[in-house]
Amino acid sequence: MSEPSGAMPFLDHLEELRSRLIVSLAAVLVLSVVGYLLSDPVIAFVTRPVGKVYFMGVAEAFAVKIKVALFFGLFAGSPVVFFQAWRFVAPGLTAKEVRWVLPVALALTVFFVAGAAFCFYLVLPVGVEFLMGFATDSLVPMISVSRYISFVGWMTIAFGLVFELPVVIFLLGRMGVVSAQDLRRHRRFAIVAILVVAAIATPSPDAFSQLLLAGPLYLLFELSVALVAITGRKKGIAS
C-alpha cells in the first residue's frame, strides 16, 4: 500500500482550505458578473417553455437578474470548484491516487454538465408541460419569474449533482471501500435512498418531478455497479 503523497499540520490544512475557497468563490463571482451582463437573453431562453412570466414586486425583476447571475456563476464556475476541491484532498492521497486528480475533476465537471443538460432539455420540458396541463378556464397560470427561475435553477443543480454518482462510486471502488457485490446486495436499500434523495433534492413537492429525478438516478446506480465491477479494487488485493 502506497503512503499518502504528503501530510500537513492542522493549521496548514485550514490555510489550504481557505485558499481553495477563495479561488472557488472568486471564479464564481467573476463569472456571476458575466452572467448578469447576459441575464436578459438567459431569462428569455429559460422561460421559453412557459411563455410570459411576471414579476410581482417592484424589486423582483432586479432580484431575478441577480439570481440568474449567481446560477450562471455556479454552473460556469463548477470546473474550478471541482478542481479546487479535489486538489484540497490530494495531499492525503497516495502517490498513485494523486494522478487521478485532473481526470476526476474533469469527470466531475462532465457529469455535472451532463446532468444539468439532461434536466433542462429533456426533463423540464416534459415536467413543465405536465404541470401546466392542470390549467383550466378558471385556473389560469400567472407564473412568477422569480419562482420559475428558482425552480429551473435548483432542478438543474440537483440533476447535475446526482449525475456525479458514478464518479463518486468509482472512487470508492478504486479505494476498496465498496465492491460490485456490496452494491448488488444492498440494491433495495439503494432504491429507498434514491427515492429519499429525489424527494429532498427536487424543489417542487409534486411526485412527478421527484420521479423524473429518481428514474435517471437509479440508472446511474446500475451504471456505477457495472463500473465498479470492471475497475474496482478486488478485496484482499493490495494496490
Q: Which of 7-16, 193-202, 216-225 has the lowest mean pLDDT?
A: 7-16
Q: What are the two backbone dihedrals, phi and then psi, of residue 4, each rounded to the nearest 5 degrees?
A: -55, 145
pLDDT digits (tens, 9 = 90+) for 28-64: 999 999 999 999 999 999 998 888 889 888 889 999 9
- Whether 99 has a pLDDT exceeding 80, the answer reads no
Contact predicate 11/96, CB 8 Å: no
For the entire predicted model, the pTM comes to: 0.76
Partnered with residue 54 across adjacent β-strands are 144
Kindly tell me the burial class for residue 39, based on how many C-beta atoms sit within 10 Å of its own C-beta (0-12, 13-18, 19 or more): buried
- Whether 203 has a pLDDT exceeding 70, the answer reads no
pLDDT digits (tens, 9 = 90+) for 110-151: 999 999 998 888 888 887 888 888 888 888 888 999 999 998
Sign of CA dihedral 45, 47, 51, 52: negative
Q: What are the two backbone dihedrals, phi and then psi, of residue 54, each rounded to the nearest 5 degrees?
A: -130, 150
- Whether 206 has a pLDDT exceeding 50, the answer reads yes
Q: How many alpha carbons fall within 13 Å on the CB side of residue 43?
A: 26
The domain spans of the chain are: 9-158, 164-239
pLDDT bucket at 204, cuts 50 / 70 / 90: low
Amino acid at 92: G
pLDDT bucket at 237, cuts 50 / 70 / 90: very low
Mean pLDDT of the chain: 83
* Portion of the chain with pLDDT greater than 70, in percent: 86
Sign of CA dihedral 108, 112, 113, 117: positive
Distance CA 211, CA 224 (A): 20
DSSP designation for 234: P
| Residues in contact with 208: Cβ distance below 8 Å, sequence separation at least 6, in sequence order | 127, 130, 131
